[in-house]
Amino acid sequence: MIEIELAIVGAGPAGLSAAIEARRAGVDVLLIDENARPGGQLFKQIHKFFGSRAHKAGIRGMNIGTELLQESEKFGIKTWLNGEVCGIEDGHNLWVVRNREKSEIVRAKKIILATGATENAVTFPGWDLPGVMGAGAAQTMINVNRVLPGKKVIMLGSGNVGVIVAYQLLQAGAEVVAVLEAAPRLGGYGVHTAKVCRAGVPFYVSHTIKRAFGTDHVEAVEIVKLDSSFKQIPGTEHVIEVDTICLATGLTPLTELAWLAGCKFNFVPALGGHLPIHDDKMHSTQNDIFIAGDISGIEEASTAMEEGRLAGINVATELGYITKEEADARSQEIWDNLNTLRSGYFGQKRRDAKDSMLQNGKEVIKWNIH
Amino acid sequence: MCDELICRCEEVSREEIEAAITDGAVTMNEVKRFTRAGMGLCQGRTCRRLVERILSEKTNTPLSEIQTSSYRQPVRPVRSDLIQEYNNLEEEQ
């Protein structure tokens, strides 16, 4: 058994940021990630980030990833890669399978769950054919593994993931035959949408996929128009030849470990579904378990990094490495950043959902812990 | 070809899940036990939300009120000897 002050599950933007803040304060940290390299989804994000300048706007995601890794190396943060956290018991003991060949128990005084999210599926006859994949998976293939998933791609979903990946597929040499959006209006940032538009890709609003055709892989897709209540309109179908169907239909937080740990949950559709209740310190309803990043609500890498810092600082405070006064001052600064990130046309909805979560967290966690 | 699979790991179709609901399944765990949807290698990572939505539509219940499935470790597919190794480690404690 390995004993540690703080174990962090997930070395994406939230987990890395948490590890850096906690280690900076003096906490003995172990960062665990199931992948072969740290950074989460940052290294496939070759586009420039949005937001204020203080938030790395204008910097490409992969470069933010490199900065975080350099900092984590500077602090000598212990990191287990290829480490799958399979379970959690007594609120402190993590069952970790290392390199798929050895079970270990990590006993941590505090745990931060920064497990991220998984892509949502949409089903239609033929969706299980090879060639149907999450847009994020396609993005990993082109930007990390340098493999083109197909030559003629259709994208379902016009949110940021859909338009960003559509553009990157074009850059990688694929033809994007169309972007479909079930809603009557497009969902992504104008700047990303416009780039795809200028490249000549047609957008179909109020449209979805009815079925995919093919024997051993996707050969064509049938699309159909939707009415205002999202019902398919018969007679509006048409078939397009494609070899790849990308689904960019949202993300779901990876919450299994939080459920296992006994955290209480709220259902918040605006943030991705069932989420562990948390307060403004990123504390869950379990005494020594904190959360940060997409597990606390689907947002962006910029908010994930701020939440990770909050969790790291508050863990360090509970372990006695930072005074409460210092923690409060630094938390206030981070909250100012978060509130800026959660503003404007796209951010306000998340801000409102987060505010009601925090209000709820304040009430529930007060009763559970103190 | 017209089958719409919902749980790919256990190859459970939409028809089978809807039939289970018609037969009386109203919670995620009941659908799991009727059909094995969500009990395969990925432990429901992909189909959990899909089944929740089908349950919500078929039983006319808001998604927020669908009783979620229960969770058990291991939450990742692991070799059975590693489960044994974990149990041994636990006993040593």
Q: Do A123 and B6 touch (CB under 8 A)?
A: yes
Cα–Cα distance for residue pair A89/A102, rounded to 1 Å? 18
Please say if the pLDDT value at position A370 is more than 50.
no
CATH topology of domain A121-249: FAD/NAD(P)-binding domain (3.50.50)
CATH code, B16:
1.10.10.1100
B42 closest CA partner among B81, B3, B78: B78
Q: What is the mean pLDDT of residues A25-36?
A: 97
Cα–Cα distance for residue pair A243/A225, rounded to 1 Å? 21
Peptide bond connecting A184 to the previous residue in cis, omega within 30 degrees of 0? no
Its ipTM equals 0.95
Which residue range is the domain that position B76 belongs to? 5-92
| The predicted structure's pLDDT at residue A51 | 61
Q: Residue A357: CB partners within 8 Å, gap ≥ 6?
A: A266, A268, A271, A275, A277, A278, A297
pLDDT tens by residue, A298-331:
999 999 999 999 999 999 999 999 999 999 999 9
pLDDT tens by residue, A294-304:
999 999 999 99
- Tell me the CATH number of domain A2-118+251-341, given options 3.50.50.60, 3.40.1160.10, 2.120.10.30, 3.40.50.300: 3.50.50.60
Chain A residues inside the 8 Å CB shell of B70: 259
pLDDT tens by residue, A5-25:
999 999 999 999 999 999 999
User: Which residue do the tokens 């996929």 mark?
Assistant: A209
Q: Report the percentage of chain A scoring pLDDT > 90.
A: 88
| The predicted structure's pLDDT at residue A109 | 98
Which among A101, A124, A274 has CB closest to B4?
A: A124
The residue ranges of every structural domain in chain A are 2-118+251-341, 121-249
Q: Quick one: closest CA in B to A265, which residue? A: B68
Cα–Cα distance for residue pair B70/A307, rounded to 1 Å? 27
Q: A2-118+251-341 and A121-249: same fold?
A: yes
State the average pLDDT for chain B: 94
Q: Do B46 and A121 touch (CB under 8 A)?
A: yes
Q: How many domains are contained in chain B?
A: 1
pLDDT tens by residue, A264-284:
999 999 999 999 999 999 999
Cα–Cα distance for residue pair A26/A356, rounded to 1 Å? 33
Q: Quick one: closest CA in B to A216, which residue? A: B1
Which among B2, B50, B78 has CB closest to A86?
A: B78
Structure token digits, residue A80: 């287990």
| The predicted structure's pLDDT at residue B1 | 42
Q: Do A121 and B50 touch (CB under 8 A)?
A: yes
Please say if the pLDDT value at position B27 is more than 90.
yes
Q: What is the pTM of this model?
A: 0.95
Cβ pairs bridging A and B (under 8 Å): 87
| The predicted structure's pLDDT at residue A56 | 66
Please say if the pLDDT value at position B74 is more than 60.
yes
Q: Which residues pair with A176 in a beta bridge?
A: A153
Q: Do A105 and B89 touch (CB under 8 A)?
A: yes
| The predicted structure's pLDDT at residue A182 | 97
- Confidence label for A366 from pLDDT (cuts 50, 70 and 90): confident
Best interface-test mutation with A: which of B50, B75, B84, B90 has the largest number of A CBs within 10 A? B75
Cα–Cα distance for residue pair A180/A177, rounded to 1 Å? 10
| The predicted structure's pLDDT at residue A186 | 95
Q: What is the mean pLDDT of residues A58-62?
A: 87
Q: What is the mean pLDDT of residues A90-104?
A: 97
- Confidence label for A347 from pLDDT (cuts 50, 70 and 90): confident
pLDDT tens by residue, A168-204:
999 999 999 999 999 999 999 898 999 999 999 999 9
B interface with A, Cβ–Cβ below 8 Å: 1-6, 8, 14, 43, 45-50, 63-64, 68, 70-76, 78-79, 82-83, 85-86, 89-90, 92-93
